[in-house]
Amino acid sequence: MPRDGACERTLVLGLGNDILTDDRVGLLASRELAAQAPLVAVEEACLCNLDLLPIIEGYDRVVILDAIWGQAWEAGRVYRFTPADLPHSFGYRSPHTMDLSNMLAMGRDMGLQMPKQIIVLALGVVDPFTFGEELTPAVREGLPGLVDAARSELGAGE
Amino acid sequence: MKRITIDPITRLEGHGKIEIFVGDDGQVVNTYFQIPELRGFEKFAQGRPVEELPRITTRICGVCPEAHHMAGAKACDAVYHVEPPPTGRKLRELLYSTFFVADHSVHFYVLAGPDFVCGPKAPVAERNVLGLIQKVGIDAGKRFFGMRRQAHEVIKLLGGKAIHQVTALPGGVSRGINEEERKHIEAVAEDFVDFGQFTLDVFEDVVLGNQGYVDLVTGSTFRHETYYIGLVDENNCPNFYDGQIRVVDQDGKETAKFHPSEYLEHIAEHVEPWTYLKYPYLKAVGWKGLVDGKDSGVYRSAPLARLNVADGMSTPKAQAAYERMYSVLGGRPCHQTLAYHWARVIEIQAAAERMLELARDPDITSDDFRTVPTATPTEGVGCVEAPRGLLIHHYKTDERGVVTDANLVVGTTNNYAPMTLSIKKAATDLISGLDEVDEGSLNMVEMAFRAYDPCFGCATHNLGDEGSLEINIRRRDGTLIHTARR
């Protein structure tokens, strides 16, 4: 949540697992952005869904940095989504399977102050499954692009 | 023979599948409760410095990292033959009590509660946490999420990270707390004690206030007479962080009490070829198959078992709730599976009260929170009560402290045989003879495992050298696209 009296109403949130090779790009990008833009609120999380609610509550705009994997997503390339663009899950089957849209709806239904705008910037990755602490080469080269995209997004919102 | 499949099973942590086989006469012949998850942590722990394991094993699953962190730290204490100073032990237990409140609450409000609040046969679209909040009130939802946020903040303060904690080390912890932090934790603990009472009241109003639910809880469909196991303190009260392991029989009589390091003398594991999860059982009684009763070594673990092995609770509000439960359910031990939900809500209160006790302890802000090990490392066992059952980490190292062998007996694993029994009985009673099996009836079969709050992300590690394998690829709506088999 934003600190009382602070001006930050935009949050950059890096998501990922830091020991699953390329799955850590969101975390790395958010750390790089925090170093380059110290006045911006930046958080990183290895959490999913339900547990993200208290982190994003109270912000007007949230820019999420994450990884995306699949045949349709080119490694090293940045993709931009809104929650409506993302696939929907089976619903509230368990805390792990709740998708972003369901989570936002739940927050709103409970009267929490949910962001008016959420942008997801995802970097196409090669391997988000293998235990490892190094990025694959294509993803290492693409990481600065994710940081640049986040910076542009922040500039576009001002 | 007809085959009914519940896949995926829902409102639990992890993945599993239930297969129900119904004969031509409409009677349930058998059920299979398969766990397809595989982790392999015991294998890749080998070759690692042992002090890394409390941090590595938190990655087994993201639901209960605190439990693995503590069991791992205690195993490291034993490997290095070192005892944490009182403040180190109390700081660990303070984090652990906070975690117990949050974790148990997720199960009641998000996973199991909807069955009772919305109704076991309510439409699927309503039978979830949102449906629960709409019935109990938005304030209940706000309290739940507020509690969760506060818990994450305290855990991050004490554990270094909100998830995948890092502060427990061999011999203690890496950081203490100052008076300002202590006061904050104390205020949160006071809120949690209120929240614990609120949750007990919700259970009383919604479940005990509904005769249909009371009949379900006390009926024969959800009942098994097993042995029970749990960690107890010197007064035979449950202690989630430390103690002796106590076993009682179907009449509540103690049949064993031992130090966790002796677990291999008392517990063995049976393997079946069609599932990756093993079946622990009591060695003294023996494996007699998937049956309950005095002659079967099948035992139960986790909330109801912990209260069944205990002579009372160590905190006053939890004690009052414990007495209420047994007076309603006809005494201790209670064999009614759905009473796990009641026991779990009592444990929320117990953990909150313990958290408050520790936050007010005069030792808690001391700087003496770690004893640095000096002995040569060898072998050690660490044991805690995870929310889902007894959790054991057993490590062996060489003289440098590099892991040569690791064995983890995980909470949910203890209850795999009981869950299998519970599912079969529920299916037999509820499905047999039905012309058409509706979704509500299948959900009631799922309630048989849901009472145990299983986490199959943690509880799996048997992979045979050969064996059949079936992979089903489905669309988002569940439609089967392709099946591959070997």
pLDDT at B79 over 50: yes
CB contact under 8 A, A54 and B145: yes
User: B136 with B228, same domain?
Assistant: no
Q: How many domains does chain B have?
A: 3
Does the ipTM surpass 0.90?
A: no
Residues B335 and B392 reside in one and the same domain: yes
Across B375-387, average pLDDT: 97
HSE at residue B315, side-chain half, CA atoms within 13 A, is 20
Domain that holds residue B259: 224-316
Number of domains in chain A: 1
Contact partners, residue B161, CB within 8 Å, separation at least 6:
none
Q: Which residues of A touch B111 (CB under 8 A)?
A: 94-95
Cβ under 8 Å to B: A residues 7-26: 19
Parallel/antiparallel/unpaired status of strands A10-15 and A61-68: parallel
C-alpha to C-alpha distance for B322 and B309, rounded to whole angstroms: 12
Per-residue pLDDT of B180-223, as tens digits, reads 999 999 999 999 999 999 999 999 988 898 888 899 899 999 99
Question: Are B238 and B385 spatial neighbours (Cβ–Cβ below 8 Å)?
Answer: yes
CB B309 within 8 A of CB B243: no
In terms of residues, how long is chain A? 158
Residue B10's pLDDT is what? Answer: 63
CA distance B9 to chain A (A): 9
- Establish if A109 touches chain B: CB-CB under 8 angstroms: yes
d(CA A21, CA B370): 34
All residues at 6 or more sequence positions from B193 whose CB lies less than 8 Å from its CB, including other chains:
B317, B349, B352, B353, B356
Residue with tokens 């993201």: B62
Whether residue B162 and residue A50 make contact (CB cut-off 8 A), yes or no, is no
Residue A4, in any domain of the structure: no
- Residues B142, A111: C-beta atoms closer than 8 Å: yes
Q: For chain B, say whether A50 makes contact (Cβ under 8 Å).
A: yes
Q: What is the mean pLDDT of chain B?
A: 88
CA-nearest residue of chain A to B150? A54
Compute the C-alpha angle B66/B354/B180, nearest 5°.
Answer: 80
> Which residues of B fall within a CB distance of 8 Å from A50?
106, 110, 148
**Closest by Cβ to A91, choosing from B59, B110, B128:** B128
CB spacing of B152 vs A51 below 8 angstroms: yes
More confident residue, A99 or B45: B45
Asked, for residue B412, whether it belongs to a domain, the answer is no
Paired tokens of B386: 């995870």
CA–CA min distance B106, chain A (Å)? 9
- CA B156/CA B286 separation, integer angstroms: 43
Lowest-pLDDT range of A99-108, B3-12, B62-71: B3-12
Tokens of A148: 């640049």
B chain contacts of residue A23, beta-carbon cutoff 8 Å: none
Residues B292 and B244 in one domain: yes
CB A77 within 8 A of CB A122: no
Percent helix, strand and coil across chain B, each rounded to 5?
45, 20, 40
**Better pLDDT: B426 or A98:** B426
Per the structure, the complete domain to which residue A20 belongs is given by 10-156
Q: Are B57 and B393 in contact (CB under 8 A)?
A: yes
Q: Out of B358, B386, B406, pick the residue that ends a domain.
A: B406
CATH of the domain at A36: 3.40.50.1450
Mutate: best of B149, B153, B188, B475, partner A, most A CBs <10 A: B149
Q: Are B133 and A131 in contact (CB < 8 Å)?
A: no
Per-residue pLDDT at A79? 97
For B379, the token pair is 């072998």
Helical pair A137-156 and A25-36, crossing angle rounded to 10 deg: 50
Say yes or no: B163 and B254 in one domain: no
Q: Are B128 and A92 an interchain contact pair (Cβ–Cβ within 8 Å)?
A: yes
Exposure class string for A19-45: b at 16+ Cβ within 10 A, else e: ebbbbbbbbbbbebbbeebeebbbbbb
Q: How far is CA B84 from CA B368, B372, B393, in A?
A: 9, 9, 18
The residue among B377, B406, B435 that closes a domain is B406
Alpha carbon of residue B469 to chain centroid: 28
